[in-house]
A and B are shown apart, each in its own frame.
Chain A
Amino acid sequence: MSVFLQYLANGLTMGSVYAIIALGYTMVYGIAKMLNFAHGDVIMIGAYISFCVTSYLELPAIVSVLAAVAVCTALGILIEGLAYKPLRQAGPLAVLITAIGVSYFLQNAAQLIWGATPKNFTSIVSFPVPEGLRAYNVSAVGIVTVVACLVIMAGLMWFTGRTKMGKAMRACSEDKAAAQLMGINVNRTISMTFAIGSALAAIAGVLLCSYSPVLQPTTGSMPGIKAFTAAVFGGIGSIPGAFVGGILLGIIEAMAQAYISTSLANSIVFGVLIVVLLVKPAGLFGKYVPEKV
């Protein structure tokens, strides 16, 4: 039983990381309707920034997180403005290939700057975990990650539900033309969404590398893809969906690794996604809208 709880704790931690990435992904997808393959690489950049600030500048962890968030937010806005904005009217494939180009660019830029050899990331949080919890493999990072994830989700729910900008985002994701007619600055809203998504990616990057400390230019790709899977799983565009999808994905992955096979863990995760999509074509929390004839 206690072994099971240990795996559950691992699953929850990874799941929370996936959920944070997925929350950003789902917002960006909701508004831009694009598979943003560069999202995972923003995670990696965030982790590198945090790593540099703590290791080279020897500043406190919280500063490194803020720096990572600031850099990634700027990066997100920059990527959107330079690469995606000119393609607003283009087909989805063109945008997808551009996103892949951005992803290549970020990975190779990171490799040029920081080298291909993995960096050993030191966890940004370390505080003593109560004896009772430590028996279940609960780490300080784990607690912080889960709490951060909950706070972020609640914050996003409030933001999209209550604030003017949040409502504008929802309006844009429903119908850009109509939103524009209602006086919403669509370009600014999209830009803002990318900023939020990238900020979340930075936080996720720092937490991800605190939990599993190997940092290299490709660190972000697989978690990025899996987080997108999590967002689809929960119903893309839905904030609670991304949260639940991320947590479930983490737990399924941890259990698959523990009880079935380490080398097939990803396959099992993806297998579950496929089954979910076949049963519920719009994910767990998504709304299925059939084409009107």
Chain B
Amino acid sequence: MAVMKFLRDKRTRRDLLTYALVIAVFAVVYVMQANHMIPRMIAGQLVPICAYVVMALSLNLVVGVAGDLSLGHAGFMSVGAYTGIVAAMGLSEVIPDDGLRLIVAMAVGAASAALAGFLVGIPVLRLSGDYLAIVTLAFGEIIKEIVTCLIVGVDERGLHVLFNLTGSLSVSDLNLAEGGIAIIKGAQGASGVSVISTFAAGFLLVMVTLVVVLNLVRSRTGRAIMAVRDNRIAAESVGISTTRYRMIAFVVSAALAGAAGALFGNGFSQLSATKFDFNTSILILVFVVLGGLGNMRGSMVAAIALTILPEALRQFSDYRMLVYAVVLILVMIISNNDTLKSAAHRVASRFASRRKEVGADA
């Protein structure tokens, strides 16, 4: 009885369908991968795709659900990636099992990114609109530069961390004992990372992220966050602390980005800090906007499609990024210009009956 009532809710059905679709896609790709049916170029992208999907979902929580334009999301990914790498490398003796170690690394990445998100959120969430955007951009760059200054190594005495402020220090200054390994080498980034991230782990993280984001959005907290987005003053007037709920969205989003970073970082033997610069933040924002604000399924599709697209466009070699740029501009103009939109709809409705979407539906 209760189950029937539960299933009668349109959103619940939508969410369940989303889970089902993700599981189905994973199953198909997994089987194809096991049978070597996936082109090598894309097979190597499976873990990054999962990481980008999680990044897009988490950024959608801030941009789509909370309505705060963040241009520094890659910063949190980088915090998660580096702490995740350090955790995985540092714990290789303690936790010999790769899978378990990856989970711990993702948890560490999530926790440290959440902390970073909280600290960044204190000043950032006092602003809004374009000012907030420019300050998140600034924080993204600050995080990148700070990470570039880090030199981290591990030996039997524990973890060694140097902050290379003047640029004169190098790995030898860590004074590692015999058998110790340098994990992060300043501007060079991390190298010699043992690759432990798998597609299955990526899928798991995507599922966890989906559950967190969708359940959050459907809960009292999610309603409060959306209320703040829709009308800040009205939300305050019904007893909602806008700062608190924007912060919750920001921190949860940062934590998920951190986990994605740990997954991403532990998927490559080598990783430089510039991997997480402003362009990455923008790339993820593009996933979110093209997928639709607040539309979680759209975010995932956009993240997958736009990660594969440049690979697929490789035959156009030099022109591919140009094509990508033109496609981006055209999509934005066609989907946002009223005249063009109605024209496109007229064409579309001739082929299929149109379905109407509601604002913040996933």
Partner-B contacts on A (CB < 8 A)? 29, 33, 35, 83, 86-87, 89-94, 96-98, 100-102, 104-105, 107-109, 111-112, 221, 225, 228-229, 232, 236, 260-264, 266-267, 270-271, 273-274, 277-278, 281, 291, 293
B329:A83 contact, CB within 8 angstroms: yes
B337:A270 contact, CB within 8 angstroms: no
B332:A98 contact, CB within 8 angstroms: yes
Residues on A with beta carbons closer than 8 Å to the beta carbon of B338: 89
Distance in angstroms from B265 CB to nearest chain A CB is: 21
- Count chain A CB atoms within 10 A of each CB in B233, B337, B340 and give the residue with the most: B337
Residues on A with beta carbons closer than 8 Å to the beta carbon of B332: 87, 94, 97-98, 101
- Complex CA–CA separation, A151 to B285 (angstroms): 39
Residues on B with beta carbons closer than 8 Å to the beta carbon of A92: 69, 129-130
Residues on B with beta carbons closer than 8 Å to the beta carbon of A262: 167
B286:A97 contact, CB within 8 angstroms: yes
B133 interface residue (CB < 8 Å to A): yes
The 9 A-B pairs with the shortest beta carbon distances in the complex, nearest first, are A270-B138, A90-B336, A101-B328, A104-B325, A105-B325, A101-B329, A94-B336, A267-B142, A108-B321
- Complex CA–CA separation, A121 to B148 (angstroms): 29
Inter-chain contact total with CB atoms closer than 8 Å: 130
B134:A264 contact, CB within 8 angstroms: no
- Complex CA–CA separation, A133 to B312 (angstroms): 57
Distance in angstroms from B195 CB to nearest chain A CB is: 28
A274:B138 contact, CB within 8 angstroms: yes
Within 8 A of A (CB), among B99-150: 123, 126-127, 129-131, 133-135, 137-139, 141-142, 145-146, 148-149
B133:A35 contact, CB within 8 angstroms: yes
A274:B135 contact, CB within 8 angstroms: yes
Residue in A91, A102, A112 whose CB lies within 8 Å of B329: A102
B126:A278 contact, CB within 8 angstroms: yes
Residues on B with beta carbons closer than 8 Å to the beta carbon of A101: 325-326, 328-329, 332
B289:A264 contact, CB within 8 angstroms: no
A270:B69 contact, CB within 8 angstroms: no
Q: Which residue of B is nearest A232, CB measured?
A: B134
B130:A264 contact, CB within 8 angstroms: no
B282 interface residue (CB < 8 Å to A): yes
Q: Which residue of A is nearest B330, CB measured?
A: A101
Distance in angstroms from A117 CB to nearest chain B CB is: 14
Residues on A with beta carbons closer than 8 Å to the beta carbon of B127: 277-278, 281
Residues on B with beta carbons closer than 8 Å to the beta carbon of A232: 131, 134
- Complex CA–CA separation, A267 to B72 (angstroms): 13
Within 8 A of A (CB), among B301-345: 318-319, 321-322, 324-326, 328-329, 332-333, 335-338, 340
- Do most interface residues of chain B lie in helix, strand or loop, or is the interface mixed? helix
Query: Quick one: given A94-B332, A229-B138, are A277 and B337 in contact (CB under 8 Å)?
Result: no
- Do most interface residues of chain A lie in helix, strand or loop, or is the interface mixed? helix
- Complex CA–CA separation, A112 to B166 (angstroms): 37
Kindly list 10 other residue pairs between chains A and B, CB separation below 8 angstroms, not including A108-B321, A111-B321, A266-B141. Answer: A33-B130, A86-B333, A94-B336, A98-B329, A101-B328, A107-B321, A263-B165, A271-B142, A274-B135, A281-B131
Q: Which residue of B is nearest A79, CB measured?
A: B329
B233:A293 contact, CB within 8 angstroms: yes
A105:B322 contact, CB within 8 angstroms: yes
Query: Quick one: given A108-B321, A228-B134, are A100 and B286 in contact (CB under 8 Å)?
Result: yes
B164 interface residue (CB < 8 Å to A): yes
Residues on B with beta carbons closer than 8 Å to the beta carbon of A274: 123, 135, 138-139
- Complex CA–CA separation, A263 to B321 (angstroms): 29
Query: Quick one: given A97-B328, A274-B135, A281-B131, are A264 and B336 in contact (CB under 8 Å)?
Result: no
- Complex CA–CA separation, A264 to B149 (angstroms): 8
B333:A83 contact, CB within 8 angstroms: yes
Residues on B with beta carbons closer than 8 Å to the beta carbon of A86: 333, 336-337, 340
- Complex CA–CA separation, A278 to B127 (angstroms): 8
- Listed by A's residue number, 7 A-B pairs whose Cβ atoms lie within 8 Å are A35-B130, A89-B338, A90-B337, A98-B332, A101-B329, A107-B321, A112-B318
B30 interface residue (CB < 8 Å to A): no
Distance in angstroms from B235 CB to nearest chain A CB is: 13
Distance in angstroms from B323 CB to nearest chain A CB is: 9
A94:B289 contact, CB within 8 angstroms: yes
Residue in A35, A102, A271, A273 whose CB lies within 8 Å of B325: A102
